[in-house]
Amino acid sequence: MSCAPGSWRPDLRTVAALCRVSRRRPPVWLGLAAILVAALAVRAADTIRPPADAWFTNQFTWPGFVPTQAVRAAGFENLHAADSAGRLKIFWAPARMDTNAEVCLFASADAPGHWPVRDWRSYAAIERGTNWEAKFPVDDVDVPVAYFLGVTVAGKTNYSPLRMAHPRELGLEEPSRIFGPFLEGFEEGLASWRLTAAEDGAVQLADEAKNGRHALLITLPAGKRSVTIGTTRVRGWRTQYPGVSGLSVWLRTRSGEATARLALHANAFSMNQVVSTCPREIRVTGAWQRVDVAFDSFPNLPLANVDWFSLEFSADGPREILLDDLQFLGPWKLEPE
């Protein structure tokens, strides 16, 4: 009999025998039988592990930029994720390599769910021999990664079905990059940001950045008293990192004044949605100002389930508001200032 940890598993006959004996000596044997049954349950739960990488077959919602009629299973049969020298890589070998194709990986790190507000990021795939390869940066090896490909040929784009990878199960033992508090500087566009209602105003990139090249410009049109912008960049699992205590963001107007209210949403736009609004009202002027807000400023917030951060801007007339450099607060210096 092996003495390796977890190698011995009492069968049901053993437990039954213990239970028969327990009728004669219940104080001792009943307790032992209960311990053995509990150990069996823990052992069984421990052996049920998610597949390292598999097609996602449960119900889900595609991101808005994917027309479902453009999703094709044929041709993507060998799409898969793997640990490559401590990095998560996505591999796809088409039946016929077309070097004129544009292949893009779309991926989001989070547990299954949060479909209306997953934080989808895009990464260009690179041709390597008969494969297309793309790398996805892993911040936490215990957070699953949902991913799919978009392949554009002659102006037509097809998408693969969705897959779900588990970095630790694939063999990754540590993140592929060091944790950093910086969340958004708009140097890669504004794909993770959108207005909560299309008719409320406009959103675009502007070159009047606090730092870097771009900031986000939100327009409150005439006839409207407020406009709300939201982002998927703030994820509940990231808020659980040691030291993370709140959010910081830079704001200003192009002219005039506005007020801002900040809110965090858990399970946003679902039946289980929880919205927590910070009671503090922020005065926004024509000069850049850094706004810091602690998570404990948001009442009754299930922080681990946060998936949407929104800012509502109000004014007594049309306004243009600039936003830049969203970061986590913590025991570190925010850069750049």
Stronger pLDDT, 81 or 7, i.e. the higher one: 81
pLDDT for res 200: 74
Helices (H) and strands (E) in the chain, counts: 4, 22
Which whole number is the average pLDDT over 83-89? 95
Every domain of the chain and the residues it spans: 12-47, 53-170, 182-329
Backbone angles phi, psi at 206, to 5 degrees: -130, 155
pLDDT for res 47: 52
Q: How confident is the model at residue 201 (pLDDT cuts 50, 70, 90)?
A: confident
Each as own residue / partner, the long-range contacts of residues 187-195 (CB below 8 Å, 24 or more positions apart, any chain) are 187/212, 187/213, 187/214, 190/216, 191/120, 191/121, 191/122, 192/119, 192/120, 192/121, 192/231, 192/232, 192/233, 193/229, 193/230, 193/231, 193/233, 194/229, 194/230, 194/231, 195/227, 195/228, 195/229, 195/230
Provide DSSP, 295-318: GGGSTT--GGGEEEEEEEEE-SS-
Non-local (6+) Cβ contacts of 322 within 8 A are: 206, 208, 210, 215, 216, 217, 218, 251, 252, 253, 254, 288
* Pair 266, 307: CB distance under 8 Å: yes
Alpha helices (H) in 119-231, listed in sequence order: 167-170
pLDDT for res 336: 73
User: Token pair 């990464």 is at which residue?
Assistant: 123
Q: What percent of the chain has pLDDT over 70?
A: 85
Q: How confident is the model at residue 6 (pLDDT cuts 50, 70, 90)?
A: very low
Map residue 87 onto helix, strand or coil.
strand
* CATH code, 53-170: 2.60.40.10
Round to whole Å and give the CA distance between 329 and 292.
Answer: 8
User: Token pair 């959103």 is at which residue?
Assistant: 203
Q: Is the pLDDT of residue 296 over 70?
A: yes
**Lowest-confidence pick of 47-61, 85-99, 109-123, 299-313:** 47-61
CB count within 10 Å of CB 240 equals: 11
pLDDT, tens digit, 9 for 90 and up, residues 137-176: 999 999 999 999 999 999 999 999 999 999 999 999 999 9
Which whole number is the average pLDDT over 126-147? 96
Q: Is the pLDDT of residue 337 over 90?
A: no
CB burial string 291-307: b at 16+ within 10 A, e below: bebebebbeebeeebbb
Stronger pLDDT, 16 or 306, i.e. the higher one: 306
Q: How confident is the model at residue 2 (pLDDT cuts 50, 70, 90)?
A: very low
- The CA-atom distances, in angstroms, between 173 and each of 59, 108, 194, 237, 240 are 30, 19, 35, 18, 19
pTM (2 d.p.): 0.84
Burial class (CB in 10 A: 0-12, 13-18, 19+), 33: buried
Token pair listed for 28: 């001792």
Q: Fold for 182-329, please state it.
A: Jelly Rolls (2.60.120)
CB count within 10 Å of CB 335 equals: 11
C-alpha 67, offset from chain centre: 21
Map residue 96 onto helix, strand or coil.
coil
Which whole number is the average pLDDT over 284-299? 97
Beta strands 87-92 and 163-165 are unpaired
Round to whole Å and give the CA distance between 267 and 257.
Answer: 32
* Mean per-residue pLDDT over the chain, rounded: 88
* Pair 273, 260: CB distance under 8 Å: no
Which whole number is the average pLDDT over 237-255? 97
Q: What percent of the chain has pLDDT over 90?
A: 80
